[in-house]
Structure 1
């Protein structure tokens, strides 16, 4: 099969499209003929040799990627034959191997793809979708709420905007550049602003000055969020789920002056509220299957995985990045 292999930690160019042996499923496992592989920002950190949260650095060489969707074409010992031929999606967990034409995983990780979803949409929801719903558990969203979403054209941001609008909230989506702003507006944001412009916060105040936000969704950090905090009402909350810019962290003193608070929502707190990852995965797939959430997809051929990583690292993508074998 063809796969992307990483033999040395470093730049995106270290991702090589190579021919390797087909994997064989072990006991309790299936092999998936991959139709779409998810690419995550964590993949880019691991590729550089930076440990990402609970995920250890893999032994090299490795095939990156932990999100796959496709059709089961081979089963291992002890696996029910009914899995053969089924279209499935899975998050591979701590074991990589997704950037390939075939991937193996345990049956307990499989979800059948709903009939209304294709493989790229399903792979977007199994990781990015579950995270978006996990984040939203910490937001008390009512129809009179005002929410600010940064990185609103990204994989998670796109879904947050859609969910918040479905809940009746007033949504302000901030992103960088005209193309991304157009996407944010198409997703239903009441106001889409370009945070590359120095007056972006002033534009929000001019539109909603009498209605400050109650919640700020932050995966950006840095000076952008320092400005965005000023859009929160006293008592407002910043929900943190990433640090695209960690060069200028917000201090407790700065937040105290504004009367706002922050909470990091990834990891154990999210899982405790959700009752586990699988519950979040089920909910994410169901929301997409029903058409309530529609992931935006940025597709690359599998052979161009290096280009996909480079695009993520330069913030040149919108929505969820997927590789198509």
Structure 2
């Protein structure tokens, strides 16, 4: 089968190589899937560079989530039959940028019928992260104001849609007019182009000076620091990631004085610490997709041969919504 593999760490375009390798076989508790769609995520670039919290042995195949079709289940796996359409995270070093992938059966979930393959592949990590961040960590309530950074990206646009579905007023921060359009398409009530406006001033004006009740921040750096200037009394800042490349050093004295909470979110831990919660969230997301309340913004559907370029572009911040590879 064809599979992209990283033989040495570096930028995705240079580090990823399309190889011909044997099709894997599932072991006990595993499932062999034919990959129907693989979503491109920022962590794929970090994996290529050797900068992610997980460092698989070289060579490895990147691609952290997929929509696939069950080919064969390994020993001890029940409830999955050939032909089932499913979504799943991967088990590195065998990632999703390949024609086939073996994944742990415990993480396999039914693909929502309301979504096509590319949309289903894009539903899992980004929307699960948004659901846990907004509901389990921040306890977002109807009528509250949610500030979302990188609101045109895959993770940000998911948070925008989930915020609207929860009854919040959503303010999205983006970089550029094209991304502003994508954030509006996702449902943001107010969109701020950070190249032209100060989001702190916009948030204060939109909330009558109160500030945002919840900040959803996958960017870090200056986005986090300036968010503390427009967080409401008893507000909650959800730290999702650091796509800016800068990990901020929070002023805890400031959190004390303004009575706000800083919440960390590493969604992957729920797969091991509370997998039942992941399945409950999936049921919620499937229901929201069926109602049309959430729908992943897939901006491009690309062939397998374009995977390395797609990962590089997502890393460079030049894309909107989700890029999905279709083997």
**Please, which of 84, 88, 91 is the counterpart of residue 89 of structure 2?**
91
Give the SS at the match of 2:182.
Answer: helix
- When residues 310 and 268 of structure 1 are mapped into structure 2, their CA distance, relative to the original with a 3 A threshold, is closer
- When residues 106 and 258 of structure 1 are mapped into structure 2, their CA distance, relative to the original with a 3 A threshold, is closer
Give the SS at the match of 1:230.
Answer: coil
Partner of 1:123: 121
Residue-by-residue CA offset, 1:31-50 (whole Å, 9 max, x unaligned): 21111012222221121112
Quick check: 285-294 or 118-127, which moved more? 285-294
CA drift of 1:93 comes to: 4.1
Map 1:25-174; keep pairs closer than 5 Å: 25-52=26-53, 55=54, 57-77=55-75, 79=77, 83-136=81-134, 137-174=136-173
Cα distance in 2, alignment partners of residues 78 and 225 from structure 1? 46
- When residues 288 and 99 of structure 1 are mapped into structure 2, their CA distance, relative to the original with a 3 A threshold, is same
Cα distance in 2, alignment partners of residues 306 and 157 from structure 1? 22
- When residues 16 and 3 of structure 1 are mapped into structure 2, their CA distance, relative to the original with a 3 A threshold, is same
CA drift of 1:283 comes to: 3.1
Give the SS at the match of 2:323.
Answer: strand
Superposition RMSD in Å: 2.5
Partner of 2:175: 176
Map 1:270-281; keep pairs closer than 5 Å: 275-281=276-282
Cα distance in 1, alignment partners of residues 144 and 31 from structure 2? 45
Cα distance in 2, alignment partners of residues 87 and 152 from structure 1? 29
CA drift of 1:282 comes to: 3.6
Cα distance in 2, alignment partners of residues 2 and 151 from structure 1? 33
- Is residue 289 of structure 2 the alignment partner of residue 288 of structure 1? yes
CA drift of 1:248 comes to: 4.6
Residue-by-residue CA offset, 1:239-270 (whole Å, 9 max, x unaligned): 11112232553322343454433121325886
Partner of 1:218: 217
- When residues 43 and 291 of structure 1 are mapped into structure 2, their CA distance, relative to the original with a 3 A threshold, is same
Question: Does the 8 A contact of 1:134 with 1:274 survive in 2?
Answer: no
Question: Does the 8 A contact of 2:60 with 2:93 survive in 1?
Answer: no
Partner of 2:188: 189
CA drift of 1:82 comes to: 6.0
Unaligned runs of 5+ in 2: none
- When residues 9 and 95 of structure 1 are mapped into structure 2, their CA distance, relative to the original with a 3 A threshold, is closer
Question: Does the 8 A contact of 1:89 with 1:119 survive in 2?
Answer: no
TM-score under structure 1 normalisation? 0.89
Question: Does the 8 A contact of 1:125 with 1:288 survive in 2?
Answer: no
Residue-by-residue CA offset, 1:103-135 (whole Å, 9 max, x unaligned): 122333322223222111111122222111111
Unaligned runs of 5+ in 1: none
Cα distance in 2, alignment partners of residues 274 and 173 from structure 1? 30
Residue-by-residue CA offset, 1:217-242 (whole Å, 9 max, x unaligned): 11112222222222222222211111
- Aligned pairs, number: 322
